[in-house]
Amino acid sequence: MLQAQSDSPAAHEALEKLCRAYWWPLYGFVRREGYRPEEAQDLTQGFFALILERKDLDVVREEKGRLRSYLLTSLKNFLAKAKRRELTIKRGEGRALVPLDELLARERADLEPADQLNAERIYERRWALTLLEQALARLGEEYRAAGSAPLFEKLKQTLTDDPGRPSQAEIALGMSMSENAVKQAFYRLRQRYRLLLREEIAHTVAVPGDVEDELRHFIAVLQT
């Protein structure tokens, strides 16, 4: 998060990643508040444009806050004060921070029981799932760079609770490896996955001391 504070190329890249990470959770909150997809898209884009223009992320750093909480509070204020005709961004104006076709495709694939979740709960769930996705994507990139993409594709299936996931014995047979080698490979993958997830969470807090609390909150969100 702190990398997104300056005007360097690295900062712009970090800022784009930040927008992508929080677009889906914030958009979900707006949708659950009763806005139609087009309205929610425009309001979410308008919200991001506003906080980036005002450099509100500096406030998070100065107040040693958590980005998750700050953005949700800011969005609530944004919606409460908004007059739709003033905040809605017309189609085609400006550069969408996340492609809208990508956003809509993700919404159609969303299997969360939205009728049982309030807006804040949807935001929290999507925040946690996005962190998982980002950590897994980074892990996949590392395996591909090492020439181990096939092994990664097999091992990542064992991270889920899908009853159809392959066993380590099946992976060993398919990859011409011993079961012990697969077991060790899975252990390394899981440890690295946890480390990358911790790094992703660390990017959303202003001070290192907040990481543990945010990690505990992340786990609680996924367990409830």
Measure the N-to-C terminal CA separation of the chain; round to a whole number of Å: 27
In whole angstroms, give the CA distance from residue 65 to residue 210.
Answer: 8
Burial class (CB in 10 A: 0-12, 13-18, 19+), 219: exposed
Q: What is the pLDDT of residue 57?
A: 63
pLDDT along the chain (224 residues), means of 10: 52 68 90 88 85 68 69 91 57 50 57 67 92 94 96 92 88 95 96 95 82 92 86
Identify the pLDDT of residue 192. Answer: 97
pLDDT at 126 (0 to 100): 92
- Return left, alpha or beta for 147; rule: phi > 0 is left, psi -120 to 50 is alpha, else beta: left
pLDDT at 3: 46
pTM greater than 0.95: no
Q: Which long-range contacts (CB under 8 A, 24 or more apart) does 87-96 make?
A: 87/42, 87/43, 87/46, 88/39, 88/42, 88/43, 88/46, 89/42, 89/45, 89/46, 89/49, 94/45, 94/49, 96/45
Alpha carbon separation from 19 to 4, 25, 78, 192 (Å, rounded) = 10, 10, 17, 25
